[in-house]
Amino acid sequence: MKEYLFEVYAMCEFEGCRTVSYMTKGHHDKKKFIDEIKEQYKADVDISNVQHSWGKFIPFCGDSQCVLHTFNKPVRGSFPMTYVNV
């Protein structure tokens, strides 16, 4: 199985700059994930809301934007991810 670097990203809504979730590629330790969000983004997130699933980026409006779809099981072109909605 492919290994993913531990990099946490803030995901923003299309029509503004409000963060709607945090994610990282790969199924990572939930405690480590929460600690990184607190350090990097100064956000307080409940560990019980952190999920492991699979994601796939779908292009939207050309090359500059995309939608992240989440799935309960792997699908073609998806990657494992750790995420939390805020």
Q: Are 21 and 11 in contact (CB under 8 A)?
A: yes
CA 41 – CA 31 distance, rounded (Å): 15
Residue spans of the domains in the chain: they are 9-85
pTM for the model stands at 0.88
Structure tokens at 67: 């939608």
The one-letter amino acid code at 2 reads K
pLDDT in tens, 36-63: 999 999 999 999 999 999 999 988 776 6
- Mean pLDDT to the nearest integer, 28-38: 98
Q: Alpha-carbon distance 9 to 28, whole Å?
A: 13
